[in-house]
Amino acid sequence: MNPRPLCFGHRGAAGEAPENTLPAFQRALELGMDGIELDVLRCRSGEVVAAHDLTLRRLIPGHGRVKSYTYPELKTLDVGSHFSPRFAGERIPRLEEVLDQFGSRMWLDIEIKGRSIRSDGIEEQIVRLLQERKLFENVILSSFNPFIVRRVQALDSRLKVGFNYLQDSSEPLRKVWFRSLALPFSLHPQPAQVDQAFLAYAQKIKAKVLPWGVNEPAEIQRLLALGVDGLISDYPSRLQILVHK
């Protein structure tokens, strides 16, 4: 890890460009971010695509679940106009496009979406894509679902895995159950969860601390003072000013 914390653009640069699109990822790169965080799902035709929500309604009113569309159908949808007219026509990219354009240039924190204990095969697909490109050093595969993290680690122990947390995650779940399922490279809490006790726990299990959704300048400065290993923000330009100064 760098002496200073690693800086990641959340969903690319969700506060500055349409989330999980190539322009958002490019924005983070141009602003000097060390990495990007993106979310992935499987669509109906089996491709792994960059999308946060299970449905498209938030980005395109009236549209349904991502898994109900084939990728050729998804490619026709405009996921940029909701953010700004200047992004009209931006589409949902496939994971391999992101890997090919950014995988050798910056860290990738790939959050695998999914609530089920059972797998739909997405872990195997992602691991295969990474193996084909020999992307092991600068990739973290993370999830809120510990069973997904466990499956990834079982598929290839060379891959780094991370646990994502919501603030209401119970302490036993975070500290006992999650860790019993996999050995994380990193923990990804919300900013309010991070204090000296959290950092001490992470140090004890030799895990990096990479809070996500770190958007307010005061919160960025607090976490910098605590000594976190990284920051994941919707606003890479703020990290550029406060961390890279």
Active site residues: 10, 52
Radius of gyration of the chain (CA): 17
For residue 239, give every residue at least 6 positions away whose Cβ sits within 8 Å of its Cβ, in sequence order, or none. Answer: 7, 31, 33, 220, 231, 233
Cα within 13 Å of Cα(190), Cβ side: 7
| Residue 172 CB burial class (10 angstroms; 0-12, 13-18, ≥19) | exposed
Structural element, H or E, at residue 143: strand 139-143
* Whole-number Å distance between alpha carbons of 245 and 241: 6
For residue 55, give every residue at least 6 positions away whose Cβ sits within 8 Å of its Cβ, in sequence order, or none. Answer: 63, 64, 65, 66
Nearest to 231 by CA among 186, 197, 198, 173: 186
